[in-house]
Chains A and B, each alone.
Chain A
Amino acid sequence: MNRIDAQPTSGASDTDRPLVFDVQGLNVFYGDFHAVRDVELPVRQNEITALIGPSGCGKSTVLRSLNRMNDLIPDARVEGQVAYHGVDLYGPEVDPVQVRRHIGMVFQKPNPFPKSIYDNVAFGPKIAGVRSGLDDVVEDSLKRAALWDEVKGKLSESAYALSGGQQQRLCIARAIATRPDVILMDEPASALDPIATLRIEELMFELKEDYTIVVVTHNMQQAARVSDRTAFFTVEVGEDGTRTGVLVEFGDTSTMFTNPSRKETEDYITGRFG
């Protein structure tokens, strides 16, 4: 099954999809450390955008600035523009809590709460004040995350009784339950075995019907398999030894992997990096 072939070939119809994120001149600092410099990144609706590049090049940093998770790091500072459906995410009126209800997140290591499967999925709706119809939300979210059939008989059991791959799909279900518009995934399969990884990839593919997905991955094949567009980051080492992440190239995944315009990209995706 070659799912890349199933994609619409790049062309005018692609660029017609509305922009969900329009990132312009994004700079992120941790204290004095300039982690990411001048990132321009368009993210389009119902597409999977992959962020790839060597470790430490700022992929997670960029991803976390899309739902203001960087606010939680005391000395992190974000400069530049992150427009979400045209609204400046870092505008003075914006409540980061509301932002995160629209833009969900799945982390590298599955991190279910030490609660039942049901309570994990119901967590987001509950804190948002939803009191009725929780059962339906839980069932629907688990179905969308392709986990329902495996857990429907044991919703009250601890989430820790699930395997790693199931836990990660539970985390996806938990994110879906808040009815987000975007799901950010930070190396969602890196802690999983190949079969569980494949299931997550299939799931991402199904989810993009309804959601916009931005995924960080260090796995070239994964980016090639699942994403519509790819952003390639690398680390620039200044003459004083400072390491800053920069975006090298952005484009259609098929183009990036078959005919990259930059030498660094080609070296990286063919494994000749470093």
Chain B
Amino acid sequence: MTTTTPDLTGDPARHRKERRVKMVMLAAGVLTIVVSIAIVLSLLSEAISFLTQIDLGQLWAKGWFPRRGRFDLRTIIVHTLLVTAVAMVVAVPLGMGAATYLSEYAPRTVRRVLKPLLEVLAGIPSVVLGFFALTWITPNVMRRIWEDTELFNMGAAGIAVGILIVPLIASVAEDAMRAVPDALREASYGLGARRRHTTLRVVLPAAISGITAGFILGASRAVGETMIVAIAAGASGGSLLTFKITEGGQTMTGAMASLAIGSDQIAGVGAAFQSLFFVGLLLFVFTLILNVASERVIRRFRERY
């Protein structure tokens, strides 16, 4: 009886090819990291250069008027938070309603039609939403509620940003709810629960971490949204601090946009222009914190079923 040693050698050409593919992937990964680091570093150096040119008291001045050397951070931060808050007030109920309907109520056929429709909503360019805010939301929503609403106002911008982030919140929440195993729904129905009990007391609590993470991501997207606030929130020249959403106001992104496109007549010159990078860095830190927070929420309250 003879035993032959099995031949387990692979094809060397195939080996080389796999190695090449791996190298390309690695290069792409490294390049991404290098570019990211370069962006952060250039932001940092410009921001530091900005800080060295100004008196730090200017960051606490009356209003955000870069041309006049007033860089009040409270103004643009408060306005950013106002727009984001309005956006969340609009987007959370709409997004949760859509997610709950799609995940728990819609028959399969309806879901098959509605889900792609939500993606279409996500694909609306924000410039379109910005004009929609200015030409429709301001007269038909804002001025219906507050007659003296300014033409450019943070409320309309916030509502439009809210519409923009509805698909994000809805799709993250829907994914979280559909990830809840049917065994839990069966347990609930088996105990004589109606659908609304099952949804409110079993599915939503079980999906809460994913849903919360979606809210944070939505807020992060709202903080970073630029085009809508640049068009509809107004105050391209700068603004005073206000807490009224019926008035125009400069947000962090709005301030950057008007600096960058030179509507402030200061493109490329001096501290005013470099403030662009400082605000950019601030925005970067803001959204980074929010994104890390959403990661944390997901990891800390990871659903165990």
Contact = CB atoms under 8 A, between A and B. Distances in A.
A43 B188 CA distance: 25
Nearest to B208: A114
B88 to A, nearest CB: 26
A128 B184 CA distance: 18
B305 A97 contact: no
Q: What size tier do the contact residues of chain B reach?
A: 20 to 34
Interface residues of A, number: 27
A111 B205 CA distance: 15
A117 to B, nearest CB: 14
Contacts of A74: 107-108
Q: In the complex, which of the residues B186, B191, B193, B201 has the most CB atoms of chain A within 10 Å of its own CB atom?
A: B191
Contacts of A160: 304
A174 B186 contact: no
Contact of B186 (A72, A104, A114, A124): A72
A67 interface: yes
B192 interface: yes
B304 A114 contact: yes
Contacts of B188: 113, 123
Contact of A123 (B186, B194, B201, B304): B201
A171 B190 CA distance: 11
A76 interface: no
B186 A111 contact: yes
Contacts of B101: none
Contact of B191 (A109, A115, A178): A178
B147 to A, nearest CB: 46
Interface in B98-137: 107-108
Given A97-B193, A128-B192, A107 B305 contact: no
Given A127-B191, A175-B190, A111 B108 contact: no
A101 B192 CA distance: 5
A106 B183 CA distance: 11
A175 B186 contact: no
Contacts of A111: 181, 183-184, 186-187
A109 B190 contact: no
Given A100-B191, A104-B190, A127-B201, 6 more contacts: A72-B189, A74-B108, A109-B183, A111-B181, A114-B184, A114-B304
7 A-B pairs with least C-beta separation: A101-B192, A105-B190, A111-B183, A124-B191, A100-B192, A111-B187, A127-B197
